[in-house]
Structure 1
Amino acid sequence: MAALVGLFHSEQQQADGKMSALAVPEWPSGWLDGIKQLCELDSVHLSIPITGLGEDETMHVEICSSAWRESRLDVIQRRQPRIPSCRCGTAAARAMRTNQLVKYILFISCYLFWVASGVMIAVGLYAKLSKESGAVDSLLAEPSLIVIIVGVLTFTVTFVGCTGALRDMPLLLKMFAVMLLLIFVLQIVAVGVAFLFSGQVMDKAAFLMGKAIASYRDDLDLQNLIDYIQKKFQCCGVRSYQDWSRNEYFDCSISNPSLERCAVPFSCCVQEEEQNVLNTMCGYGTQNLKAWKAESMIHTGGCLEKIVTWGQSNLHLIAGLALGLLAMEVVIFFLAVTLIYQISFIIQKRTNVKRES
């Protein structure tokens, strides 16, 4: 190609709507070969000195590789760099996307908790529907309802987070961040209240455990839970084995016609090493015995004290798990906030580009 012919628009000519053609002097062969090699790879943006064109004698031009493939060269004046019209927008498209690492780490984290909450809801519903008829008068005394409520709350929060992260929806991400922050604050407040008012917390726990003992025979799920706790911690009752008199079936009053009068559940019994058959009547009549005499047959210590002792001995494990959960919530929260700012920045950038064009 002996010479380059370019179409130039000056500011005055743009105002008049006219165009003029200018023949550019012949280029050295080395320049043309270099430009050809670059254009075969991708589009090229160059600043080429041309005499007689402005004070700095420099014009910004855009050369597209498609021009070489069509055996021609288009030279277009660019007073201010713009997004090129040729197929060279890969970098610009990437700049208009959110950080994929942040996006999918947030999505996977929410998805795992979402699946776990769905399993919790299914287990709670199965336990609720398959248990024997009868109800308890306290919500906190029915484990299946607690599992369902916690599962529904977790499912809702994580579903909002999953959808917002996957679809880049700032409104859902803001809702998710607010709910997560609220949960985090409530957890901190709960820990602080439990530490400052430990005596009242212990009394409340004892009251709720007493309510559970009173409803032992009314709810199969609750019965299995109490039996598990008493076997696990080798305890009986809330503060002592005589707390089982709160249950109408185990009440020691003379007017009680039950065969389990003055008894305790079999889960309170001391299991013999060679015992292969479970004796469900091992606790009959033990409430009438003194503690020193009954301790050879049943566990006489209360479960509340045993649970507190276990918590104190495993304080580092409990604190580590609690801090790990809180740290995970903080990381997920900042991932959501980061994604929100990235989406807002992209929206603002697209708006500015539309205004300029």
Structure 2
Amino acid sequence: RWRWAERGPEGTFSQCVRYLAFLWNLLFLLLGLLALATGVWGLLAKGSLAGERFVPLGSDPMLLFVLAGLGASAVSLAGCLGALRSSPCLLRFFVGAVLAFAGLEVLGGLLLLAARHRLRDALRDALLLCLLRYQDEPDLRFLVDEVQRSLRCCGLGSYRDWEANPYFNCSAPGAQACSVPASCCLDPWQNGTVANALCAAGALRLGDVVAGTVVYVGGCVAQLSAWLRGQAGAIAAGAAVLVLVEAIGALMALKMLGDITTRE
């Protein structure tokens, strides 16, 4: 009786940890499946999988959702089944995968910290790629438009960087020649209610002073760099919360592994 009374609370606590670990991993399994479904839907909607138009699959941003969803779903499923069936093999796989993810995140953070002085150049290269492929990739177009609208900027260093785009270049055919995207416009609305896609028509033919009355003439690299510096605290806090969440899941799995080893 004395031994049963001594071990009873431990058994109850172990059961609570087991069910909490199951629910914890079930939540992340659902989130992983949601990310996976979003990625697959994005690829199908753009015809990347259906072959409606040629888009290199490896360069599609929606592929990141697919890979992240697959990884999170597989690890969370192992955690769910390991907690439900008290499987040492699945629990060890779960702990190993979580530790690997946490290690990669910490390594990535350290690399970013070490290469922070080169971050501006990397950011400029990424924005240049977005600028050149603006008309070819809907995801990149959406990203560029959001950045230019939110930060009230245009191009990399100035609005004239859009001359490098084959569709906006002054020698290009079509209505967009010598223009910049509508997201560069100071007032992208017609009569205040209807979006005007040609509000920046001919902006590259204008001088800087006149163009400044129609579009934002300052570039986005400096503005985006300043914004990222301002968000450094929030980014670090988010990374810390993510590592804490992973640590809680790993500790619960280790607790269950310890209980299984004790029973054996």
**Shorter-chain TM band:** 0.7 to 0.9
2:198 is matched with 281
Q: How does 1:42-81 map to 2 (within 5 A)?
A: none
Q: Contact 1:227–1:267 (CA<8 Å) still a contact in 2?
A: yes
CA distance in 2 between counterparts of 1:92 and 1:191 reads: 43
Structure with greater proportional strand content: 1
Which of these residues, 122, 127, 136, is aligned with residue 42 of structure 2? 127
CA distance in 1 between counterparts of 2:162 and 2:12 reads: 64
2:179 is matched with 263
| 2:168 alignment partner, SS class | coil
CA distance in 2 between counterparts of 1:325 and 1:309 reads: 24
Deviation at 1:138, TM superposition (A): 8.0
2:134 is matched with 216
RMSD (Å), alpha carbons: 2.7
Q: Which letter maps to 1:319? A: A
Structure 1 191/92 Cα, relative in aligned 2: closer, same or farther at 3 Å? Answer: closer
Give the total of aligned pairs.
259
Deviation at 1:230, TM superposition (A): 2.0
CA distance in 2 between counterparts of 1:96 and 1:330 reads: 23
Q: How does 1:148-187 map to 2 (within 5 A)?
A: 148-187=66-105
CA distance in 1 between counterparts of 2:110 and 2:76 reads: 26
2:156 is matched with 238
CA distance in 1 between counterparts of 2:80 and 2:218 reads: 47
Instruction: Among all aligned residue pairs of Structure 1 and Structure 2, give the percentage whose two residues are the same amino acid.
Output: 27
Which of these residues, 319, 334, 338, is aligned with residue 251 of structure 2? 334
Runs of 4+ residues over 3 Å off in structure 1: 89-98, 132-140, 288-293
Q: Contact 1:136–1:215 (CA<8 Å) still a contact in 2?
A: no
Q: TM-score w.r.t. structure 2 length?
A: 0.86
Q: Contact 1:239–1:302 (CA<8 Å) still a contact in 2?
A: yes
| 2:194 alignment partner, SS class | coil
CA distance in 1 between counterparts of 2:188 and 2:129 reads: 30
Structure with greater proportional helix content: 2
Q: Contact 1:131–1:219 (CA<8 Å) still a contact in 2?
A: no
Q: Which letter maps to 1:165? A: A
Q: Which letter maps to 1:207? A: D
Match status 1:322 vs 2:239: yes
Deviation at 1:337, TM superposition (A): 1.4
CA distance in 1 between counterparts of 2:7 and 2:246 reads: 34
* Unaligned residue ranges in structure 2 (runs of 5+): none
Task: Give deviations 1:25-68, integer Å, cap 9, x for gaps.
Answer: xxxxxxxxxxxxxxxxxxx89xxxxxxxxxxxxxxxxxxxxxxx
Match status 1:295 vs 2:212: yes
Q: Contact 1:263–1:285 (CA<8 Å) still a contact in 2?
A: yes
Structure 1 168/279 Cα, relative in aligned 2: closer, same or farther at 3 Å? Answer: same
Task: Give deviations 1:9-29, integer Å, cap 9, x for gaps.
Answer: xxxxxxxxxxxxxxxxxxxxx
Structure 1 240/137 Cα, relative in aligned 2: closer, same or farther at 3 Å? Answer: farther
Structure 1 92/99 Cα, relative in aligned 2: closer, same or farther at 3 Å? Answer: closer
Deviation at 1:162, TM superposition (A): 1.3
Structure 1 301/151 Cα, relative in aligned 2: closer, same or farther at 3 Å? Answer: farther
User: Larger relative CO (CA 8 A, sep 6+): 1 or 2?
Assistant: 2
CA distance in 1 between counterparts of 2:144 and 2:70 reads: 25
Q: Contact 1:270–1:298 (CA<8 Å) still a contact in 2?
A: yes
CA distance in 1 between counterparts of 2:70 and 2:158 reads: 36
Deviation at 1:243, TM superposition (A): 2.3
Deviation at 1:93, TM superposition (A): 8.7
